Chains A and B, each alone.
Chain A
């Protein structure tokens, strides 16, 4: 292999490359246009759905159901036995058979053949955000995030704890995932905390639902916008893990309403109460590497 590489290097040296120039800056400009066009397309596709939601909302009453509105305490005991998570909400979408991030010829150019073909993001709700945590705070770790997440989840057995090493994500912005079994078989849930102001700064409490039918790792993604541009994503998977050879289908284990309540918890942030970070470190001393 080394010799082939050496030949490539030698022959590249015989074909001097022109300067990169402002290629990176131009790619940002071009990328912004792509993103803008996609958002416009999504808005067009999602507009009718949003209008339908608004009509339903007007007929059925206020849509805003945050942690507080749902009668759930803002503290970390939402998922403890006897917690008040509403399990009567409609079931999430049916499982998707698609595997995530597959390279396929003929896929939509705009998506680079990588992002599922028809993701759609719609604002589905606005929740009232409670005050952030008090007391000693520490930088959010994957273990701390899992500690809080497991406390917020509905009752059930959890396992398969994993995190994705954050590349490019800032300090205190982990991605974690776990399995939850509420008695009907295990399903996978992922959670990420990050800050991305490219799409503007939506009003804190804005809840978006992204349907990603081609990606079983996040068939549905609930995004709750917190203050200061922070976003908490809760991914509802329809498979247990991703493997290049295939995935194991699984039923979604959270409803959108439950996911919203979890992601809207004001505890989430780039810093967590020290108790969660410390307990998480003890409870999850070693985390698997997420392949998602």
Chain B
């Protein structure tokens, strides 16, 4: 019965978890592996997870933990870019930096905050709990990261985040 409950949960959560993982690592195969590992750990802790207020947030916490571990193990193959590519004035549509490119330049913790807040629509409080930081850190890092993304994406896209400025 618990197996059925877990499978039901996992089927509902897998796609969304994998999307969040992809947004943070930009590699579907890695995202798939991380999602499977995350769900395996959720399964192993299902007795506890099923009692959690928000099992989906709990799963995201495990996913982030897995990402940190993976990053640590494969630091030499870090996917995030250390510096953004230069933008071309001649072919802006093809070569301009995408939001995913820009997000990838952020440290993993800040990436997670951006993805959890603006992709998963988690509250500041839940994001803080998932990442393991205070709500003040989530707020300040969100603003800082959005400013950074604005810089990277250029002035023409700043309107994308205009509502985040206040």
B1 within 8 A of A: yes
CA distance A120 to B132 in the complex (A): 25
Q: Which of B26, B36, B119, B121: most chain A CB closer than 10 A?
A: B36
- Contact assessment for A28 and B125 in the assembled complex, using a CB-CB cutoff below 8 Å: no
Near A by CB (< 8 A), chain B positions 107-155 give: 114-115, 117-119, 121, 125, 128-132, 134-135, 146
Q: Which residue of B lies closest to A170 (CB)?
A: B1
CA distance A292 to B160 in the complex (A): 38
On chain B, the residues within 8 Å of A289 by CB distance are 53
Main SS at interface, chain B: helix
- B55's partner among A27, A30, A102, A167 (CB-CB below 8 A) is A167
Q: A20-B14, A23-B35 are in contact. Are A4 and B161 (CB under 8 A)?
A: yes
On chain B, the residues within 8 Å of A4 by CB distance are 99, 114, 118-119, 146, 160-161, 164
Give the number of residues in B that approach A within 8 Å (Cβ atoms).
71
On chain B, the residues within 8 Å of A136 by CB distance are none
Which of A10-18, A40-48, A90-98 is the contact stretch?
Answer: A10-18
A291 within 8 A of B: yes
Near B by CB (< 8 A), chain A positions 82-137 give: 101-105, 107, 109-115
CA distance A32 to B46 in the complex (A): 11
**Proximity string of chain B (85-110) to chain A, C-beta cutoff 8 Å, 1 when within and 0 when not:** 00000000000001110000000000
- B7's partner among A28, A103, A194 (CB-CB below 8 A) is A28
The 9 tightest CB contacts between A and B, nearest first, are: A31-B43, A103-B132, A27-B39, A30-B40, A168-B50, A34-B44, A31-B40, A4-B118, A112-B41
Q: Pick 17 A–B contacts, CB within 8 A, sort by A.
A: A8-B99, A8-B118, A17-B22, A20-B32, A28-B6, A31-B39, A31-B40, A32-B43, A33-B40, A35-B44, A102-B132, A114-B65, A115-B48, A164-B53, A165-B53, A244-B125, A291-B53
User: Which B residues lie at the A interface, using CB under 8 A?
Assistant: 1-3, 5-11, 14-15, 18-19, 22-23, 26, 28-29, 32, 35-48, 50-53, 55, 58, 61-62, 64-66, 68-69, 98-100, 114-115, 117-119, 121, 125, 128-132, 134-135, 146, 159-164
Given contacts A17-B18, A27-B40, 16 further A-B contacts (CB under 8 A): A3-B160, A3-B161, A4-B118, A8-B118, A15-B26, A15-B28, A28-B40, A31-B40, A101-B58, A113-B65, A167-B55, A168-B6, A168-B55, A170-B5, A196-B2, A244-B134
